[in-house]
Amino acid sequence: MSTPHGLYQLSQLDTLEAEAIFIMREVVAEFEKPVLLFSGGKDSIVMLHVAAKAFHPARVPFPVLHVDTGHNFAEVLDYRDRRVSELGVNLVVAKVQDAIDAGTVVQPPDGTRNRIQTPVLLDALEKGGYSAIFGGARRDEDKARAKERIYSFRDEFGQWDPKNQRPELWSVYNGKVHPGETIRVFPLSNWTELDIWHYIRREEIELPSIYYAHDRDVVDRNGMLFAVNEFITAKEGEQVKTMRVRYRTVGDASLTAAVESDADTIDKVVDEVATTRITERGATRGDDKFSEAAMEDRKREGYF
Amino acid sequence: MDILRFATAGSVDDGKSTLIGRLLYDSKTVFEDQIDAVERVSKERGDENVNLALLTDGLRAEREQGITIDVAYRYFASPKRKFIIADTPGHIQYTRNMVTGASTADLALILVDARKGLVEQSRRHAFLATLLQVPHLVLVVNKMDLVDFSQEVFNNIHEEFTAFATKLRVRDLEVIPVSALRGDNVVDRSEHMPWYDGPSLLHHLEHVHVASDRNLIDARFPVQYVVRPISDEYHDYRGYAGQIAGGVLKKGDDVMVLPSGFTSRIASVEVAGKEVDQAFPPMSVTIRLEDEIDISRGDMICRPHNQPTVTQDIDAMICWMDETATFQVGKKYAIKHTTRMARTIAKDLQYRLDVNTLHRDEEATSLALNEIGRVRLRTTVPLLCDDYGQNRTTGGFVLIDEGTNRTVAAGMIHNQ
């Protein structure tokens, strides 16, 4: 058989999608109770979209879990509820506020809830009896993620141990665990931020509107633009400005910053992402700036 | 735009991190905040120049121990291709990491220091790349600036390595002189080496043809999952989901299902409900057959006149990857091969291979971490397999310790 150049060649998006579909099917075939972590961010939205394709015409055969810090963008919650009802999937919400009320976690004095998400997540996973947990993390996001497996083994405390990872060869994944141990599964490991956006454009995936440029009242805090809302008010000396912004990542509304942007369509966003010179976490996340190993430390505690 | 996956091997001293940093930097994959961080750290450490190697610096656990623990995956793109780098450390646990990185690689990039020439490690890396059947090999002769861009130095290394590669039956080899530090022949052709008329490294990575490296002849479709919607609309729907491991399958093809041996014809090949004209590796598809036959996960759909080997007796090269236990004849393991999980008993260790000298030790009785050996296994159920040289997906497997659940070995099947 002759194979001239170009024939039987899969584009990068098709290759990445095929890999993600394979991983998701593998998990569903081998684990009794998988669950998909859904934040309403673009990566988890893409992951859910791929899941729908992987099992079509059957429904997505696992629930989605949202760890709700209570600091939400209204647009994101609307989107979440609409999307799960379209797909007919079961939504489980684990509320950080409930855990604070029950006294199982303590609200830090600075009001942030990023760090206390982890025990709430671990508690929800244990209660649900979930043995495999899909996350939308990508390896290009952070150097701790760059070294994490697609099937990331976690001990009974949900902890990641970078020195004790299972070798991962070809597309043969080892999902064997003892009771209490779990596997975090990252089907989008090999995607970059730009791949995600190209895929959103190709598949015409709807996103929460805050991903596109809009006018918003913001304060500039150490070079990051935070929306003024019920969680963030201007401190003394800070000036509230109305600016044209969009969000590059969507997380806790008290920690996630917007970027100045005129990109109000998918094409403009793709162009912007292709030419931007700042990483998305660097531009928008207060939580990863604390130390050089912030992500590594949080993963060791059981974070995604 | 397609994807090229490549594995890099070499030690810190060879300038591997600098080379990768250079590729990322020159392809504008490195962001300003990353550069800022690197500049800050360089300054704190008192480095004279901004240390590009810090771009690929790893975990706190690694910095504390001053070693690289694990394979790191990195990404960059040029207008022609997306690249996935499996960056494997050269020293500690080198074999396990290199084998892991090479298992998915289209191309292996081996670095040598022009001043030192080939060292034991270069030969070892080349051997491991061929053991894992990485189709393309590139020897990067780095630090050419430190040998005055000497053609003679380069030619000597080139000749010596080519002779070695011929013994290993390397299918495609390119040898490129570079200076990662100064950027010569990394992205652009160097002005300092007019005697070199080959491509720059990036140019080669962009143009090496990989689509036909996959086996497009022998149709292999390991069934991964059976899609059976519980709905009135799709009451009779039954789709076999999986990723094409070899060959091309399309509607109307006569097929056989193994191990049952039942035959049928493909009714449709679908991706998320949309019919596609044909499916080839590595597409993930759902296949429907004209007849209702009993098929489950672990079965294989192939062509009636082109079947894989169906056997419970496996001859294989394995690389032992576990530090807590050794490979022992007589011990039972779990084996995962394509989508099939089975049990296996180790029947024989024929020899242990010295990866540096290629000497075969037939007296060996066990394999420890990073050791490679030829073994014979007997499985509880037949595996539907091919020679690893014919198909890396249907020829590769892992062994799992049944007590600890750790992945303890990677195997490459070499049945007659």
**ipTM of predicted complex:** 0.94
pLDDT at residue B89, as a whole number: 76
Task: Please report which confidence band the pLDDT of residue A2 belongs to, taking 50, 70 and 90 as the band edges.
Answer: very low
Which of the residues A5, A28, A170 would you substitute to probe the B interface, choosing the one with the greatest number of B C-beta atoms within 10 Å? A170
**Does the beta-carbon distance from A8 to B233 stay under 8 Å?**
no
pLDDT above 90 for B349:
yes
Chain A residues 200-219 within an 8 A CB cutoff of chain B? none
> Is-same-fold flag (B221-302; B309-413)?
yes
Is the domain spanning B221-302 CATH 2.40.30.10? The answer is yes
* Mean per-residue pLDDT, B343-359: 94
Q: Does B64 touch chain A (CB under 8 A)?
A: no
Q: Which CATH class is domain B2-212?
A: alpha beta
Q: What percent of chain B has pLDDT over 70?
A: 92
Helices (H) and strands (E) in chain A, counts: 9, 10
Tens digit of each residue's pLDDT (9 = 90 or more) over A85-117: 999 999 999 998 888 888 888 888 877 787 888
Task: Please report which confidence band the pLDDT of residue B91 belongs to, taking 50, 70 and 90 as the band edges.
Answer: low
Q: Which residues pair with A262 in a beta bridge?
A: none
**Does the beta-carbon distance from B406 to A166 stay under 8 Å?**
yes
CA distance A103 to chain B (A): 32
pLDDT at residue A1, as a whole number: 36
Q: Does B67 touch chain A (CB under 8 A)?
A: no
Task: Please report which confidence band the pLDDT of residue B1 belongs to, taking 50, 70 and 90 as the band edges.
Answer: confident
Q: Does A118 touch chain B (CB under 8 A)?
A: no
Return the residue of A nearest to B104 by Cα: A170
- Provide, as residue numbers in chain A, all residues whose Cβ is less than 8 Å from the Cβ of B334: 176
DSSP A22-68: HHHHHHHHH-SSEEEE--SSHHHHHHHHHHHHHHTTSPPSS-EEEEE
Enumerate domains of chain A plus CATH numbers. 12-194+293-300 (3.40.50.620), 209-288 (no CATH)
Burial class (CB in 10 A: 0-12, 13-18, 19+), A114: buried
Angle at A29 between CA A54 and CA A131, to 5 degrees: 105
* Mean per-residue pLDDT, B80-94: 81
Where are the domains positioned within chain B?
2-212, 221-302, 309-413
**Does the beta-carbon distance from A168 to B99 stay under 8 Å?**
no
Q: Does B27 touch chain A (CB under 8 A)?
A: no
Task: Please report which confidence band the pLDDT of residue B315 belongs to, taking 50, 70 and 90 as the band edges.
Answer: very high
Chain A residues 58-117 within an 8 A CB cutoff of chain B? 58-59
Tens digit of each residue's pLDDT (9 = 90 or more) over B22-67: 888 877 776 677 777 777 777 777 766 666 666 666 666 666 665 6
pLDDT above 60 for B113:
yes
Chain A residues 31-60 within an 8 A CB cutoff of chain B? 52-59
Burial class (CB in 10 A: 0-12, 13-18, 19+), B5: buried
pLDDT at residue B48, as a whole number: 64
Alpha helices in B197-344 (DSSP H): 201-207
Tens digit of each residue's pLDDT (9 = 90 or more) over A284-293: 665 554 455 6
User: CATH second-level architecture of B309-413?
Assistant: Beta Barrel (2.40)
Q: Which residues pair with A217 in a beta bridge?
A: A242
**Does the beta-carbon distance from B271 to A58 stay under 8 Å?**
no
Looking at every residue in chain B, the average pLDDT score rounds to 91
Which of left, alpha, beta for B290 (phi over 0: left; psi -120 to 50: alpha)? alpha
